[in-house]
Structure 1
């Protein structure tokens, strides 16, 4: 696709014309990447010019495929270069490269996603040397908010959030929990603030039936301790120790995969737990009769929305925005890191499949009314315009 020349523009564009929107994120994986992909398609479909800036060292072949598909809708372009996961000197050069791309694309909105994407977008938007300043939007997606202010990492990250808060025009929280956590750990933003829930598409409400030979349970997500896979393994062992008992499929990849494989072996669960690697969510869902989300922390996880839309029974922890998804059924959620409570909830699903199916159908109907992809896209665009009007 040929490069788009910077277009002359002014505030009039922000009151009704097509916007030039740039999304900045680090790792193109998981729910955050899905959110950016959904927004890019929805915004381009509404006539806006969209670009994406992301890390070049993560995501693998699946990200490459997604970016190849997105090039058809990203008229401004897609730029990828190295972005480090941990803070370091490379952050300054990465932020400078984001600024260089932004000066070329001249966005009306520079929208950072996640901790690192939010840092780069807001620094770049503040330090642009050519053209007018864009609306600096930020969606945390959990990120820094998962950390305790008393931990060394949390102290560093939350201080950075306070510094950047004054350099943010628009906060878009994907859950009420995220907004409250930000206010408690960082402070009340002096900017336009909106809570806009993630949304799912109509096609995702097509029910999924378990494949032949499906396991009793399936986990789908990044394989790191924050996601609670170790708690799931402990719960399976509590339900029945050794080779016999309920089975599970752990779908995904991540930094703690070997740790979880070792834990499964140490518990004697090798024949009951399999690790097939990364798979598309709906393909992974068919590998189990119930999805387990044992996370220690979350924002508003797409995997729960997707599973609920597909009418899968769900066992999940009471963290982040998950209660906002479950609504009237939130009393079924279990405490994070509590293997006995998780085992009890999983055992209940096995013992009363009819009740689990009825709950799944009711939750899917509720999700359809409250978590629409179209509504998410429209509300975020409205927030862009409202922010521009406030500036």
Structure 2
């Protein structure tokens, strides 16, 4: 088997931000001549098989290993055997399980280049034992990627990685058709899983402050998750259950296009794909000043940044934009232009290629690519269409 294989390894439970990113990136890399394949670590979740099917449809070969428990020596042995069979020149892992299984397997199998991408904020990263283990596994790496500078700083501060450990590769997006103009009525959308880090409770407190002085206010919350019952009860207790609608899982683009403003009140975001999607749809964004969000939302140009966990600041920013539809429209237009300039999938793929070539040169290895075939080009186009619609789902 040729040594030009690039084997990506990931633990998948559902299609969310990192998975949508891979559905765009991997077929594009194949279209550019990299022999990319994917090793799926899973626990038989339906979302894992949905992800595998989409990659397969896009022309990316997929092989799976079931993890019966978090740490399983037999599963590690299967991963090692698969890696040895593929003989990749680069092994690139995504998320925690893949780091520990994939990088150990890569070292045991003698893979020349080991790479990993960190994708998000996680509460468990503050634990001393985990941080020490993650730093230890990180010492195996030839290429350590973070999806934003904000995430790289978080990992440095929280886990103790040395400054400058990470290369930054922002997610990309496939721009869609021209969006409809935003409504002039005060409609706010929030898109994301109903989990603590997304800050929906802060949003509801802000809405309670905002609603009495803003007639006609409508707030649409798209997404599902374990906090739904609690958030519904909070909305009722705050007296805003007539203002706030819980939509469940809906296509993000559809929800955003019905709004004038998209709020991203998260306590932490490795990147902030929802903000990018909102800007691509020409909507003004009010977002927390955390993680990767300030790298996407330019204060006063494409949106407004507010301190996290501050309902008053969030209410003030939302109220100011809701009361000035023309400014909201101008911020949305500037956001869409910024997406086309700085956050296309083409730029993301090119940056990844650049890092691959650089690390291969440092190792004294060849470029590792084959000439892209027309079938790879077709697969990339199909994947871009599929992943674009997938990434428009509420997360």
Pair 251,120 (structure 1): closer, same or farther in 2 beyond 3 Å: farther
1:182–1:188: 8 Å Cα contact kept in structure 2?
no
The partner residue of 2:249 within 278, 286, 310 is: 278
Pair 98,348 (structure 1): closer, same or farther in 2 beyond 3 Å: farther
Shift of 1:337: 0.6
1:136 aligns with 2:110: no
Q: Deviations over 1:315-351 (max 9, x none)?
A: 1110011111123537830010101111111111210
The residue number in structure 2 matching 1:358 is: 330
Shift of 1:94: 4.7
With the length of structure 1 as denominator, give the TM-score of the two structures. 0.82
1:71 aligns with 2:45: no
2:271–2:292: 8 Å Cα contact kept in structure 1?
yes
Aligned pairs for 1:33-112 (under 5 A) are 33-57=19-43, 60=46, 64-79=49-64, 81-82=66-67, 88-90=70-72, 92-112=73-93
The residue number in structure 1 matching 2:229 is: 258
The residue number in structure 1 matching 2:133 is: 160
The partner residue of 1:187 within 161, 164, 176 is: 161
The residue number in structure 2 matching 1:119 is: 100
* Matched residue SS, 1:333: strand
Distance 2:281 2:44 in 1: 28
Q: Deviations over 1:3-39 (max 9, x none)?
A: xxxx142xxx4xxxxx433242333332111111111
* Matched residue SS, 1:300: coil
- Report how many aligned residue pairs link the two structures: 361
Distance 2:97 2:254 in 1: 30
Pair 284,51 (structure 1): closer, same or farther in 2 beyond 3 Å: farther
Pair 327,215 (structure 1): closer, same or farther in 2 beyond 3 Å: closer
Pair 255,57 (structure 1): closer, same or farther in 2 beyond 3 Å: farther
The residue number in structure 1 matching 2:283 is: 312
Q: Which has the higher contact order (CA 8 A, sep 6+)?
A: 2
Return 5+ residue gaps in structure 1 as ranges: 1-6, 14-18
Distance 1:259 1:282 in 2: 26
Pair 220,328 (structure 1): closer, same or farther in 2 beyond 3 Å: closer
Distance 2:207 2:115 in 1: 42
CA RMSD of aligned residues (A): 3.0
Q: Deviations over 1:216-250 (max 9, x none)?
A: 111111211101011111111111369x7622121
The residue number in structure 1 matching 2:310 is: 338
**Which 10-residue stretch deviates more, 213-222 or 321-330?**
213-222
With the length of structure 2 as denominator, give the TM-score of the two structures. 0.81
**Which 10-residue stretch deviates more, 326-335 or 135-144?**
326-335
Q: Deviations over 1:248-286 (max 9, x none)?
A: 121112232332223223323333222222223212323
Q: Deviations over 1:148-204 (max 9, x none)?
A: 74xxxx22321122111111111112212222333333222797x422222222x33
Distance 2:20 2:261 in 1: 22
2:65–2:78: 8 Å Cα contact kept in structure 1?
no
* Matched residue SS, 2:8: strand
Pair 111,258 (structure 1): closer, same or farther in 2 beyond 3 Å: farther
Shift of 1:105: 2.7
Distance 1:205 1:319 in 2: 30
* Matched residue SS, 2:289: coil
1:174–1:195: 8 Å Cα contact kept in structure 2?
yes
Pair 189,318 (structure 1): closer, same or farther in 2 beyond 3 Å: closer
1:293–1:315: 8 Å Cα contact kept in structure 2?
yes
Shift of 1:123: 2.0
The residue number in structure 2 matching 1:29 is: 15
2:37–2:60: 8 Å Cα contact kept in structure 1?
yes
* Matched residue SS, 2:176: helix
Distance 1:382 1:302 in 2: 23
